Structure 1
Amino acid sequence: MSEEMKLIQRVAVERDENGWWHHPGIPDFDGTEDPAPYKAWIAEQGLELKTWDMEAELDFHPYWDGEAHCNGWEPEAPGPEWFLMGIFDTDDGPHVQWARRKERCGACGGCSNGCQLDKDSPVAQP
């Protein structure tokens, strides 16, 4: 992890008039739609993600009749340690994405799924 990189944290969520929102700490990756830079950044941040769509939670929403909003959909976090990364529109409809820090093993600062941080990283907690 680069020393100048700031770890993304929970922030206050203020959805726009259509119900959409994205975390202001997510880089824009020069506007690319390639998911690889985002996935690399997530790994560098030491995050675990959970994503699902509005259809998984609601039986009906005006979005499916052509409305361009997700107002009224209030997805709940999978647990208290999760923070919102975004509520966004996709080709498959509205999606929500949550994140949390991976558990650190304590020996090198890596997560329980294998090391995610360099052992000399300032965020490693032996």
Structure 2
Amino acid sequence: MSVRVRRVYEPPEPEDGVRVLVDRLWPRGLAKDAARVDEWPKSITPSTELRRWYHAGEASYEAFAQRYEAELAAGEAAEALDRVRGLVRAGEVTLLTASKTPERSHATVLARLLED
């Protein structure tokens, strides 16, 4: 099984499998039916504080990833992450984000954790 990361604005593809939106907010200008999102577990998204800290430009991606992994290790986030792991064990999963640079976003951190 595999995990892909794609921008939510890209058209759905048959090989996407289960499409999981991993952003806390719904992407601007995107109709819900056009996105074809199957799951939207908001509890696995970075906290508002972490997101603001990272986007302020004061932190490296590596520091952000480390703090984000710590957030995912407890509580609701850990439970939701386990649920998504179950989806990955069952088949293909595509993590969707509105980020302009998905390779430097929380979606890539999630993908790495889900493939481990």
TM norm. shorter chain > 0.5: no
| Larger of the two Rg values belongs to structure | 1
Larger proportion of strand: 1
Q: Which protein has the bigger helix share?
A: 2
Q: Higher RCO, 1 or 2 (CA under 8 Å, sep at least 6)?
A: 2
> TM-score of the superposition, structure 2-length normalised?
0.31
